[in-house]
Amino acid sequence: MNFEVLIASSIDGLTLGFVFGLMAMGLTLIFGVMKVINLGHGPFIVMGMFAVLVLSQNLGINPYLALPIVIVLGLVTGVVTYFVAVHRVINAPELTTLLATFSVNMMLIGALTIIFSTSPRGLSLELPAFRAGTITVLGTRVVAVLIALLVTGALYAFLYRTHIGKSIRAVANNRSAAELMGINSTWALALSFGIGTVLAMVSGALLATLFGFTVLSGGGLETKSFVIVVLGGLGNPTGALLGGIVIGLLESITTIFMPVSYVPVFEFVVFILILLFRPNGLLGAR
């Protein structure tokens, strides 16, 4: 086996892993705070992709400079979705919230299909690549990793250093106790749904700079997010980042040993086994 191939695919997987981690963090944050599995996660990722597409192609903004707009858009979308679809059923059994977020999924996919149709899209983005010997790292990948790290850093600073972030963590820990301390839990929940949506949309925007996409790309990415989230432990953002890196590496390195089409089988079997034996994730306590 070629050592350089291994290095090259490791770098490939690692860079992709950070973006996957960011994507899964959105899902896990929402679950951690309000115990809701957001089945609208896929369409939110796709919205991020198309937001960047429209901003860069129709309005001529550089895709990376469009990210702040995507963030604002994500926050608004998330908060609105929370109040429309989730708030009323926040204390209902899982099935209710699963179906409520699935209805959001249907509406968003339907609306996006009407506007953009399901034909494949892509961004035209040229960045210089980094070369060392036979190993090439694309510039878009490096920037994607840097942005993913920046967003993660900002998220942690927000959750641990600001007053609002601390109140979100308090609500996640114990909602009624937080309410007794004078925290407005409704807004804390709405805001965390918004942040989860922002993470989904930013990761979608970054993925759009790396690959081609369609309106229906969200489904596969959503199931991938589930796998990553479970790997890192449901509700654990740090775990999600690590899970993303593990999946990214797994996807790129295993292709050296086995046919590409077997990788998802392997992933889903690992997913089920972890759910059964380590439901708190690889890092979590038993």
Partner 1 sequence: MKSLTNPSLWIIWFVVLGVALMPVFGNLPALREELFVLLMLVTLASSVNIIMGYTGYVSFGHIVFFGIGGYTAFYLIQTLQFNFVLAALIGGGIASLIAFLIGMPVLRLRGAYFALATIGINEAFRTLVTNVDALGGAVGMLLQFSVYDAYGGAKSASQLAYYGIILVALLTITASFVIKKSKFGLSLMAIREDQDTAMVLGIDPARAKVMTYTISAFFPALAGALFFFKNGNIEPGPAFELHRSIEALVMVMLGGFGTVTGPIVGAFVYERLRGFLITDPIFSNAHLVISGLLLLIIVLFVTAGVVGWLRQRIPTLRRFLE
Binding of residue 284 to partner 1 (CB under 8 A): no
List CB contacts of 166: < 8 A, sequence separation 6 or more.
159, 160
Given a contact cutoff of 8 angstroms between Cβ atoms, the answer to whether 185 and 25 are in contact is no
Binding of partner 1 at residue 201 (CB under 8 A)?
Answer: no
- Pick the closer one to partner 1 by CB: 175 or 224: 224
**Considering the rule CB under 8 A, would residue 254 count as an interface residue with partner 1?**
no
Cβ 180 to partner 1 shortest distance, Å:
26
Q: Can you give the chain as a three-state secondary structure string?
A: CCHHHHHHHHHHHHHHHHHHHHHHHHHHHHHHHHCCCCCCHHHHHHHHHHHHHHHHHHCCCCCCCCHHHHHHHHHHHHHHHHHHHHHHHCCCCHHHHHHHHHHHHHHHHHHHHHHHCCCCECCCCCCCCEEECCEEECHHHHHHHHHHHHHHHHHHHHHHHCHHHHHHHHHHHCHHHHHHCCCCHHHHHHHHHHHHHHHHHHHHHHHHHHCCECHHHHHHHHHHHHHHHHHHCCCCHHHHHHHHHHHHHHHHHHHHHCCHHHHHHHHHHHHHHHHHHCCCCCCCCC
φ/ψ of residue 6, rounded to 5: -60, -45
Does 80 help bind partner 1 (rule: CB under 8 A)?
no
Q: How far is the CB of 72 from partner 1 (least distance, A)?
A: 24
Smallest separation, CB 31 to partner 1 (Å): 8
Q: Of 5, 127, 157, 269, which one interacts with partner 1 (CB under 8 A)?
A: 269
Q: Give yes or no for residue 282 binding partner 1 (CB under 8 A).
A: no
* Residue among 158, 219, 238, 278 that touches partner 1 (CB under 8 A): 219
By CB under 8 A, which span of 139-147, 167-175, 195-203, 256-264 interacts with partner 1? 256-264
| Contacts (CB under 8 A) with partner 1, residues 23-62 | 31, 35, 37, 39
Q: Which residue, 230 or 249, has its beta carbon nearer to partner 1? A: 230
Where in 89-148 is the site for partner 1 (CB under 8 A)? 89, 92-96, 98-100, 102-107, 109-111, 113-114
- The CA distance from 126 to 201, in Å, is 22
- Choose between 45 and 67: whose C-beta lies nearer to partner 1: 45
- Which one among 18, 193, 213, 226 touches partner 1, defined by CB under 8 A? 226
Q: Which is nearer to partner 1, 150 or 272 (CB)?
A: 272
Contact segment (CB under 8 A) with partner 1 among 121-129, 139-147, 149-157, 221-229 equals: 221-229
Residues forming the site for partner 1 (CB under 8 A): 31, 35, 37, 39, 84-85, 88-89, 92-96, 98-100, 102-107, 109-111, 113-114, 219, 223, 226-227, 230, 234, 259, 261-262, 264-265, 268-269, 271-272, 275-276, 279
